[in-house]
A and B are shown apart, each in its own frame.
Chain A
């Protein structure tokens, strides 16, 4: 089966500019996650979707970050405006129906804010 697909792989922007990341999960996976991974750290959850509904967005900085998952499949994560501290790798993951089944990750988008 095809894995989780993310684009773009790399993005360099100037601070205060907007940026968007796209994720296509594994077919049939209803649960989708966005994580942020800083250098030398483990991934940290930003938001979790069950189908179209954001069921956990408590760690999402809502003043500048937004996300959507139209039709319960693809998802986009947006930052506007970007700040220097937003430089990180943004990972998307999807999960099958069992709540404790493993997450499958994409290769991420490496964002550099200058």
Chain B
């Protein structure tokens, strides 16, 4: 069964304190791994797509990496505005399967 597991469920950081979010997956025939950001009361907002092991993508303070079994979202020197829930999703065939998300809180 295709499955996506994100950890930790919640993460509290001080401003400037770098960390990583994990997304582990089991899927047959991965077509892509997606990272989304979701703010309260909003729909998920697309961040990155990763297609193959070893691939990396960067955007401002965020960097996503992919291996054959997991993906990491690295947050470097986070700011309070980075506080949100980060969702990981994998596409196997035509279905997009989401994890439960990691809720990040960054305090100043």
Task: Report A's interface with B, CB cutoff 8 A.
Answer: 4, 33, 40-45, 48, 55-56, 91, 93, 99-108, 110
Task: Report B's interface with A, CB cutoff 8 A.
Answer: 4, 31-32, 34, 36, 41-46, 49, 51, 87, 89, 91, 94-96, 98-101
B43 proximity list for chain A (CB < 8 A): 4, 91, 93, 105-108
Candidates B45, B51, B99; contact of A105 at CB < 8 Å: B45
Q: How far is the CA of A43 from the CA of B30 in the complex (A)?
A: 19
In the complex, are the beta carbons of B49 and A43 less than 8 A apart? no
User: Given A40-B100, A42-B87, A100-B31: A48 and B94 within 8 A (CB)?
Assistant: yes
Chain B residues touching A, majority SS:
strand
Least CB distance from A106 to B in Å reads 5
In the complex, are the beta carbons of B96 and A104 less than 8 A apart? no
User: Given A42-B100, A100-B31, A100-B32: A55 and B94 within 8 A (CB)?
Assistant: yes
B42 proximity list for chain A (CB < 8 A): 107-108
Least CB distance from A12 to B in Å reads 16
17 contacts between A and B (CB under 8 A): A41-B101, A42-B4, A42-B99, A43-B44, A43-B87, A43-B98, A48-B94, A55-B94, A100-B31, A102-B49, A103-B34, A103-B46, A103-B96, A105-B36, A107-B42, A107-B43, A108-B42
B95 proximity list for chain A (CB < 8 A): 45, 56
A99 proximity list for chain B (CB < 8 A): 31, 94
